[in-house]
Chain A
């Protein structure tokens, strides 16, 4: 990988972050945009959770992750502390993989 490739990716990645933080500045002052800003994380993180849990190289892949995330999700739903959720999900997934 050349330095040029690395710098183009770095500049592009920062440009997205910067555009979100500043480019939409005027827009972000409107009530609708602020409400949308509150709804974007649950919508996008839910998709990210789905992809990280059952996404594979191409399409779906059901494996130990699903069991671990289900256990962690249950812990989260029961209101257990964050570190418990994370440890439960990792421990269950790691254990199922060993079986």
Chain B
């Protein structure tokens, strides 16, 4: 059976997050959370880094305010991804309200790796749904099965994420503005990582996009990076210049 390349990549991303879902389930139950509370976190918060942070703070004896604070700092970057996805996704209020819940690193990365709106939309939903299902399934397995799979770090799965993100960034890295944004984002992260709280460097890295836009200008970004309306690669210039 031939599976669409974009969908297949979404499933691969989902499988990797599923392994981390198991690790989250194990951590949460070790920290004394019930099955219902652990599942509520994975279903409703659905932002892996935030969930790990919140449970770790509680497990270390921290107060609830600290747990909420560290979780929400890590969740804040999804607002930026939401802005990106709002320029790509079409559909009713209900569809986009559902899409908002699935707006995370993985779904945004797979969507923006595509060069046309149809594939970008498919990428978003493939990664979003696949990660949602497998992250929650993994969490459930982790709570009821304990450490069946073992530590994902033994398998090196933690390194699979950054490498996968690099692969998904390749189309952007082949354009001058995209490369500039990535370099600026990396430098901002390197400078802030030693002192800023977890999650903050990635938010500050949004400044790298502002710098790249200021340097190259809107027109250069439109011609090289914007998702085209048509699968044939015709850029979305007409519509962009109307607004």
Contact = CB atoms under 8 A, between A and B. Distances in A.
Q: Do A and B come from one complex?
A: yes
Interface of A: 1-10, 12-14, 16-22, 24-25, 27-53, 55, 58-60, 64-65, 68-69, 71-73, 75-77, 79, 82-83, 85-95, 97
Contact of A9 (B45, B177, B181): B45
B103 A21 contact: yes
A17 B165 contact: no
A20 B80 contact: yes
A76 B163 contact: yes
A29 B243 CA distance: 6
B84 A40 contact: yes
Nearest to B41: A6
B16 interface: yes
Interface in B24-50: 31, 33, 37, 40-41, 44-47, 50
Nearest to B158: A65
A61 to B, nearest CB: 10
Contact of B99 (A21, A37, A42, A52): A21
A6 B83 contact: no
A39 B45 CA distance: 26
A5 B33 CA distance: 12
Q: 3 nearest interchain CB pairs?
A: A20-B82, A72-B163, A93-B156
Given A9-B68, A13-B50, A45-B168, A40 B80 contact: yes
10 contacts: A1-B37, A3-B40, A7-B44, A31-B240, A36-B210, A38-B178, A39-B181, A72-B163, A76-B170, A83-B12
A16 B75 contact: yes
A20 B162 contact: no
A59 B99 contact: no
B156 A48 contact: no
Given A10-B40, A36-B210, A55-B193, A41 B166 contact: no
B100 A93 contact: no
A53 to B, nearest CB: 5
